[in-house]
Amino acid sequence: MNAITKVAKLPKAKEAIKKLSSPSLITKALNPAQFSDPPKLARYLEKRVLAHAPGRFVVIEKPYGISCVGQLQENGGVFENSVRDDRKTEKWAGTIKARSGEQVGVTITDGLKLLRKILKEPQLSFCTGLKRYLSGAIVLPCNEHDSNILKSCIRRMSSDIEPPFMYNALAITVGSPEKSSGLITGFATFRNVGKHKEYIFEERKVSKRAKSGKYAVEGHMSYRVLDTKNGVSLVDFSVDKFARHLPRLMLTHMLSPILGDRIYWRRLMEVDGAPELISAGSRVPEFTQWIPRVLPEKFAMNNKEIMTSLPIYCHVYNTIFEDVGGYEEQGLVAASEPPAHFMAALELLDLLPAYRKFKKQSSEKTTEDSTSETSKTSGDVIF
């Protein structure tokens, strides 16, 4: 009888040990690195310089949740203003809530002053980076000439309509696209929804008038699902641009919004026990938010907390800048590993084996490419 009792208790003991380890993993998955002041951020970035070509470029690892600039860039930045009509720009400004300085927090540009001294690059400047909700490698030019080369490269590559695209990323998504891989193309635009405006994605070719008038931004994405577990998936995707929330809109359109994307995940409702996309701005009180049953358990949260407390799990693992050196076959591939909170979420959701397999296959492909004289090695920095 005692022996039987002991055997019966073993599974409970293992479960207890498992539960003891979960809180620390959950805490890690929910808490990306944070920075309270520019010097702290600059010191962090100093330790994460991925490549440095003196006088030309510095490649650093941009943390999740940190803006590069924190405000609209003059004339719209690299792509200039996305709204052509100045009157519309002024009208729309009142419908978009600007972030306060407190909400923006410390930015990459705030840390540049100290970083210039640390790296002995007096002309180090911001040119182009990644959105606040993304982590990944960004390239900082050390002179105006190379800054213009980067901008020219980005404009050209963002207009490519076929893979390979400029940005390669991993995302943990809610649910999974219907197809395990594919290519999606369409456009995002800003439209009236009730008393405010929202980004809308349409999977069709944009009209010449809308494109030339900058009322719509066209984009392309290739993707493949690496694995699906616990109601979520690990998706590898490549896009030509991140403007107008394009990748987030595209994944949501495929019924697989990025985990933690509280804006677009809210468009996915539960209808007859399955997820269904509800048009933006629609009020459907009889439907509830689509939340995979296992998520609240995995994160030890209720449904409301799940929808409001998760970071956006999306990481750009490499960005390709072709012809950066200004010569044929020369370029730069800026690559970085996912941050600690992303890795913790993979482990928590049982997607870590899929990531390791992906990394191994990518490494093997890199080795194969390095043996070819005509191929650039993915992950190498070439100037």
Residue 257 structure tokens: 């919004």
The helix (H) or strand (E) run that includes residue 358 is: helix 352-370
Sort strands 196-202 and 181-193 into parallel, antiparallel or unpaired.
antiparallel
- Domain for residue 199, yes or no? yes
Residue 100 structure tokens: 């306060």
pLDDT band at 227 (very low <50, low <70, confident <90, very high): very high
CA 63/CA 108 separation, integer angstroms: 9
pTM of the predicted model over 0.75: yes
Helix axes 38-46, 112-119, angle to 10 degrees: 40
For 195, residues 6+ apart whose C-beta sits below 8 A from its C-beta are none
Helix axes 340-348, 2-30, angle to 10 degrees: 150
Q: What is the pLDDT of residues 179-224, one digit of tens each?
A: 999 999 999 988 877 777 888 899 987 766 555 556 788 899 999 9
Of 99-113, 192-206, 236-250, 269-283, give the range with the top mean pLDDT.
236-250
pLDDT at 375: 40
For 278, residues 6+ apart whose C-beta sits below 8 A from its C-beta are 267, 268, 269, 284, 287
97-127 in b/e burial notation, b at 16+ Cβ within 10 A? eeeeeeebbbbbbbbbebbbeebebeebebb
Which domain, by its residues, includes 7?
1-27
Percent of the chain at pLDDT > 70 equals 75
CB 174 within 8 A of CB 263: no
Half-sphere exposure of 47 (CA within 13 A, CB side): 6
141-168 in b/e burial notation, b at 16+ Cβ within 10 A? bbbeebbebbbebbeebbeeeeeebbbb
Residue that is last in its domain, among 294, 309, 324: 309
Residue that is last in its domain, among 266, 285, 309: 309
CA 86/CA 91 separation, integer angstroms: 9
**Cis amide linkage into residue 54, ω under 30° from 0:** no
CB 303 within 8 A of CB 292: no
Helix axes 340-348, 352-370, angle to 10 degrees: 120
Read off the pLDDT of each residue in 309-328 and give the average, rounded to a whole number. 85
Residue 97 has pLDDT above 80, yes or no: no
pLDDT at 294: 94
Residue 41 has pLDDT above 80, yes or no: yes
CB 96 within 8 A of CB 190: no
- Domain for residue 253, yes or no? yes
pLDDT band at 364 (very low <50, low <70, confident <90, very high): confident
CA 22/CA 35 separation, integer angstroms: 26
- Domain for residue 284, yes or no? yes
Instruction: Note every long-range contact of 113-120, with CB atoms under 8 Å and residues 24 or more positions apart, other chains counting.
Output: 113/38, 113/42, 114/38, 114/39, 114/42, 114/43, 115/42, 115/45, 115/46, 118/42, 118/46, 119/46, 119/49, 119/52, 119/58
- Domain for residue 156, yes or no? no
Q: What is the pLDDT of residues 332-361, one digit of tens each?
A: 899 999 999 999 999 999 999 999 999 999
Residue 73 has pLDDT above 90, yes or no: no
Residue 23 has pLDDT above 50, yes or no: yes
CB 232 within 8 A of CB 173: yes
Q: What is the pLDDT of residues 99-150, one digit of tens each?
A: 444 456 899 999 999 999 999 999 999 988 899 999 999 999 999 999 999 9
- Domain for residue 129, yes or no? no
Domain count, the chain: 2
Closest CA to 259 of 340, 322, 349, 183: 349
- Domain for residue 67, yes or no? no
pLDDT at 238: 97
238-262 in b/e burial notation, b at 16+ Cβ within 10 A? bbbbbbbbbbbbbbbbbbbbbbbbe
- Domain for residue 16, yes or no? yes
CA 301/CA 219 separation, integer angstroms: 35
- Domain for residue 271, yes or no? yes
